[in-house]
């Protein structure tokens, strides 16, 4: 198997690298390289820069205004942006709901929603999970009742990532209680500024406000916001989940964080310690193996095969790797990496840090934050069940 890139692909990589160097604001890449907190303006600012270039929807085909890149080009773009210290593209719009609108939305919906996603102007949130309906997603209870030319939505979503910024939300709603639970679900696009929508923060272990509860109290949603057919939402939801799980693997971020781990280990004097080096080497091998798997999924997606099964594998390995590098960073810092100083996540923090190495200050927050990765996007236990049933047989 030839794993090297062609001269055209190398040239493409260099073009992306040069453009990112020119256009990625330094204050943003500084925050990313040092694991500092990114504001809404940082995240959306970068999204808009990419949008202007036509690269926010970097996985989109040309017919919908995307660059029409191959799987390899997409991978190279992700790698170059991650290594340069660009923030992760917030996936809910360009990576998750856009492919559903392209595949199952009508021409009117495509014209209405895709440009705002491609430009980074409109912030989307994901309304799948509910209290009691996470792993068992097909049991969602949020009800959408058809009344003339609109739906009346009542219920609650939870764990809505960055929902405090959301303009729009794509939701799984119950439109029927007949038959199997999966057959009564619809996929509805909801304007979060509608009367009756309440967003409440959930504070996480790391002290940050990353997720929310969202309540719907008689929210009116025009029926034209229904994607595809009523009660067929489960099919569309699954289409989206393969994109979500592949995205969570985030192999290029792992490569960047591996370099950060090495920097921390060197500055703390443990990099030459053989046992520590063994652990770093094992992590590096796992990251390379994950990268090979990502390339396989991307090429399967290009040839039109459903990559949902392998996407589960990617999600498991990618999330475990994210937790592992955050653990090794803590180990490198030893007791000095323990204090949880939330303010240390802010750029320009001037406080004192025990041990004197400010690179250790955000480690506890990152460590806590990474605990989420084996839960969200479908927990790893559930992914293992799926892999066992669909891949191993």
Ligand X SMILES: Cc1cc2nc3c(=O)[nH]c(=O)nc-3n(C[C@H](O)[C@H](O)[C@H](O)COP(=O)(O)OP(=O)(O)OC[C@H]3O[C@@H](n4cnc5c(N)ncnc54)[C@H](O)[C@@H]3O)c2cc1C
Block residue for tokens 């250790």: 360
Instruction: Please list every residue from 353 through 372 that binds ligand X, using CB under 6 A.
Output: 372
Comparison of 55 and 128: residue with beta carbon closer to ligand X = 128
Instruction: Please list every residue from 130 through 189 that binds ligand X, using CB under 6 A.
Output: 134-135, 159-161
Q: Hey, what are 106's tokens?
A: 């009508």
Asked if residue 340 lies in contact with residue 351, where contact means CB atoms within 8 angstroms, the answer is no
128 is a site residue for ligand X (CB under 6 A) = yes
What Å distances lie between residue 215 and 97, 195, 218, 229, 378, CA to CA? 21, 11, 10, 24, 22
Inter-axis angle of helices 380-387 and 308-333, nearest 10: 140
Q: How many residues bind ligand X (CB under 6 A)?
A: 19
Angle 220-168-139 from CA coordinates, rounded to 5°: 70
124 is a site residue for ligand X (CB under 6 A) = no
126 is a site residue for ligand X (CB under 6 A) = yes
What is the distance between the alpha carbons of residues 56 and 258, in angstroms, rounded to a whole number?
Answer: 25
Q: Nearest 10 degrees: CA dihedral of 24, 28, 31, 36?
A: -140
Comparison of 73 and 158: residue with beta carbon closer to ligand X = 158
340 is a site residue for ligand X (CB under 6 A) = no
Both ends of the chain: CA-CA distance in Å?
27
Comparison of 73 and 156: residue with beta carbon closer to ligand X = 156
Q: Which position among 211, 258, 287, 341 is part of the footprint of ligand X (CB under 6 A)?
A: 211
347 is a site residue for ligand X (CB under 6 A) = no
Asked if residue 314 lies in contact with residue 290, where contact means CB atoms within 8 angstroms, the answer is yes
For the bound state, the minimum distance from the C-beta of residue 380 to ligand X, rounded and expressed in Å, comes to 7
379 is a site residue for ligand X (CB under 6 A) = yes
123 is a site residue for ligand X (CB under 6 A) = no
34 is a site residue for ligand X (CB under 6 A) = no
129 is a site residue for ligand X (CB under 6 A) = yes
What is the distance between the alpha carbons of residues 254 and 249, in angstroms, rounded to a whole number?
Answer: 9
For the bound state, the minimum distance from the C-beta of residue 88 to ligand X, rounded and expressed in Å, comes to 14
Q: Nearest 10 degrees: CA dihedral of 304, 305, 309, 314?
A: -50
What is the distance between the alpha carbons of residues 359 and 237, in angstroms, rounded to a whole number?
Answer: 40
Kindly give, in sequence order, each residue whose CB lies less than 8 Å from that of residue 123, ignoring residues fewer than 6 positions away: 44, 90, 92, 93, 162, 165, 166, 167, 168
Comparison of 52 and 209: residue with beta carbon closer to ligand X = 209
Choices 221-229, 234-242, 273-281, 378-386 (CB under 6 A): range interacting with ligand X: 378-386
Choices 41-49, 126-134, 235-243, 263-271 (CB under 6 A): range interacting with ligand X: 126-134
Q: Which position among 83, 138, 338, 382 is part of the footprint of ligand X (CB under 6 A)?
A: 382
For the bound state, the minimum distance from the C-beta of residue 132 to ligand X, rounded and expressed in Å, comes to 7
Q: Residue with CB nearest ligand X?
A: 134
Interacting residues with ligand X (CB under 6 A) = 126-129, 134-135, 159-161, 211, 372, 375-379, 381-382, 385
């Amino acid at each position: 198997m030839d794993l090297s890139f062609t001269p055209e692909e190398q040239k493409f990589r260099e073009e992306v690298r040069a453009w990112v160097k020119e256009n990625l604001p330094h204050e943003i890449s500084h925050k990313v390289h040092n694991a500092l907190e990114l504001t809404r303006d940082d995240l959306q600012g970068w999204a808009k820069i990419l949008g202007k270039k036509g690269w926010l929807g970097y996985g989109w085909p040309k017919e919908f205004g995307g660059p029409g890149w191959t799987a390899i080009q997409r991978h190279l773009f992700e790698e170059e942006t991650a290594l340069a210290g660009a923030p992760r593209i917030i996936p809910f719009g360009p990576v998750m709901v856009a492919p559903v609108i392209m595949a199952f939305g009508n021409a009117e919906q495509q014209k209405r929603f895709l440009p705002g996603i491609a430009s980074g102007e409109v912030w989307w949130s994901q309304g799948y999970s509910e209290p009691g309906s996470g792993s068992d997603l097909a049991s969602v209870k949020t009800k959408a009742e058809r009344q003339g030319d609109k739906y009346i939505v009542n219920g609650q979503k939870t764990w809505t990532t960055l929902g405090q910024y959301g303009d729009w939300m794509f939701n799984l709603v119950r439109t029927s209680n007949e038959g199997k639970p999966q057959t009564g679900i619809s996929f509805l696009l909801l304007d979060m500024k509608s009367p009756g929508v309440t967003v409440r923060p959930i504070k996480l272990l790391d002290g940050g406000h990353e997720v929310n509860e969202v309540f719907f109290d008689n929210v009116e949603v025009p029926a034209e916001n229904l994607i595809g057919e009523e009660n067929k939402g489960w099919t569309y939801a699954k289409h989206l989940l393969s994109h979500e799980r592949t995205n969570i693997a985030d192999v290029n971020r792992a490569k960047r964080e591996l370099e950060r781990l090495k920097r921390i280990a060197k500055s703390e004097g443990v990099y030459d310690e053989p046992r520590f080096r063994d652990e770093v080497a094992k992590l590096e091998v796992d990251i390379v193996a994950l990268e090979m798997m990502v390339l396989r999924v991307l090429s399967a997606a290009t040839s039109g095969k459903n990559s949902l099964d392998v996407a589960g594998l990617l999600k498991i390995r990618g999330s475990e790797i994210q937790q592992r590098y955050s653990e090794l960073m803590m180990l490198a810092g030893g007791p000095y990496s323990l204090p949880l100083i939330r303010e240390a996540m802010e750029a320009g923090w001037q406080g004192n840090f025990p041990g004197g190495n400010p690179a250790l200050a955000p480690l506890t927050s990152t460590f806590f934050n990474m605990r989420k990765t084996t839960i969200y996007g479908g927990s790893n236990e559930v992914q293992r069940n799926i892999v066992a049933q669909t891949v191993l047989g």
